[in-house]
Structure 1
Amino acid sequence: MATAQFAPETNQNRVLSEAVVRVAGCWQLTNEQLGAILGLSPATASRLRSGGFQLDRSGKAFELGQYLIRLFRSLDALMGSDDRAAISWLKTANLDLDARPIDLIRSIRGLCDVTDYVDDYRAQV
């Protein structure tokens, strides 16, 4: 009996795309916010949520999606898997970052800075 073999890249695209959609749902991100974070249009972010689009491993949006997942995992560990606490942290002005993290992660630099900040904070705990 033959078994279906999926190309590893296609599987990675699907897995990361689904994970990004779950993060967007947990953090209650709009399509505009998700698109800005990934460098996609709001319409493409909507298609991503509905399963009509997948992040491509060779694209910049895939890399940004990996950073978004890394931020989610770090913040989730720091907040004890409390999604409401994570959302509150994202939407509250942070004195160390001089802005609200939700606003910063809309740029590549901001996403990297916020991710590093959370990782560094976790390392101290």
Structure 2
Amino acid sequence: MPFDIAAYFLRTGDTAALKLWHEYERETKGKSVIRFSKGLRGLLLSDEDLAADGEEGVEAGRLANWLYRRVVALGLEAAVLRSLDTGGFAALTELLTAYHLDTAGLHGPAQEINPAGVDNNVD
């Protein structure tokens, strides 16, 4: 494999491996030589990459700005996504309640967020 050649050169300094690597570069420049197997692309790409790829997600709910800032301040972003992925909206509500966060700022996908009277403080 090509990256095995590069790794071998970096480990050993063998110039024959470096020459082979340069040959690989010349022969594959501008060509698609490494492809994703089915399902691997989704495992490796970020949400931004997938969004740019045209993949659509499902809106599970919305957090008011003040609630989102509290989630970030507590470092719970990954936990929020994991709870939505494993248990949906109910699991997210349970997570926020466990951290004593006001779920009044949590809205289901069909609900609109009313910005009037929003508490913007992150306590």
TM-score by length of 2: 0.30
TM-score by length of 1: 0.30
Query: Which has the higher Rg, Structure 1 or Structure 2?
Result: 2
More helix by percentage: 1
